[in-house]
Amino acid sequence: DAGVTQSPTHLIKTRGQQVTLRCSPKSGHDTVSWYQQALGQGPQFIFQYYEEEERQRGNFPDRFSGHQFPNYSSELNVNALLLGDSALYLCASSTDRGYYGYTFGSGTRLTVV
Amino acid sequence: EDQVTQSPEALRLQEGESSSLNCSYTVSGLRGLFWYRQDPGKGPEFLFTLYSAGEEKEKERLKATLTKKESFLHITAPKPEDSATYLCAVQAGKDSSYKLIFGSGTRLLVRP
């Protein structure tokens, strides 16, 4: 049974560019959340998607946007990249909007130069 | 403001030397407290969920406990393969919030 799948695993972008990260949730899961994890820190909540809508959002600027597709997979888009956006981006999936916890993917390491 | 604080930041143990990791939290109506293990360059791996004060859960050498203000992750007779960062997270019960609020983690190194 495949868990949460994220792509790509690593990515290098230049300041000002745009990036799209992808996530396929664990089989049977309908909720996808995105987190940003800076080096040495705990993950920070970006937003959560449920039934193809953004249900909750953390303290991130509008440069961060997302989408959920009918098959529950999701994309995270970041526009006008800044050096400070360099981090590990984690996708987490769950049922019931996360009441029983989340399964995390291995993440996408984004480096902005 | 909802907040999670983990201590110590780093912990070095000899193989077989038992210890505890602490997670203190302030949250408006705790829905659940989660412990995750994270290996370098990987995503967090789920360990336990605790929902109410007094609850305890065990898995191999790990035991998690919960009070109204903090949680402990007890590691009994650790092995080198237990070396990892251990993350604590809470889910608040207010405003239908389902996001996880994480601490900064405890980096555990178990030496043979």
Is the pLDDT reported for residue B9 higher than 70? yes
Contact B99 A44 (CB under 8 A): no
Q: Which of A101-105, B13-17, B91-95 has the lowest mean pLDDT?
A: B91-95
pLDDT digits (tens, 9 = 90+) for A21-71: 999 999 999 999 999 999 999 999 999 999 999 989 999 999 999 999 999
Separation of alpha carbons A108 and A88, rounded Å: 6
> What is the SS3 string spanning A51-82?
CCEEEEECCCCCCEEEEECCCCCEEEEECCCC
Between strands A44-50 and A103-104, the pairing is: unpaired
Picking from B4, B49, B98, the nearest residue to A97 by CB comes out as B98
**Burial class of residue A113, CB neighbours in 10 A (0-12, 13-18, 19+):** exposed
Asked if the Cβ–Cβ distance from A106 to B104 is below 8 Å, we say: no
Query: Residue B96 — very low, low, confident or very high, per pLDDT cuts 50/70/90?
Result: low
A104 interaction partners in chain B (CB closer than 8 Å)? 36, 43-46
Alpha-carbon gap, residue A5 to A53, rounded angstroms: 20
CA torsion sign for B34, B37, B43, B46 is negative
The answer to whether residues A19 and A7 touch, using CB atoms and an 8 Å cutoff, is: no
Residue B105 with chain A: CB contacts under 8 Å: 41-42
Instruction: Write the DSSP symbol of residue B2.
Output: -
Chain B residues within 8 A of A88 when measuring between CB atoms:
41
pLDDT at B97 over 80: no
Residue whose pair of structure tokens reads 């290098």 in the numeric block:
A12
Q: B15-63 pLDDT, tens per residue? A: 999 999 999 999 888 889 999 999 998 999 999 999 999 999 999 999 9
Question: What span, in angstroms and rounded, lies between the C-alpha atoms of B26 and B1?
Answer: 8
Identify the bridge partners of residue A109 per DSSP, sorted by sequence position. A10, A88
Q: Which pLDDT tens digit goes with each residue over A67-98?
A: 999 999 999 999 999 999 999 999 999 987 67
Question: What confidence category does residue A1 fall into, taking pLDDT thresholds of 50, 70 and 90?
Answer: low
Q: Does B1 lie at the interface with A, CB-CB under 8 angstroms? A: no
| pLDDT computed for residue B95 by the predictor | 66
Average pLDDT of chain A is 94
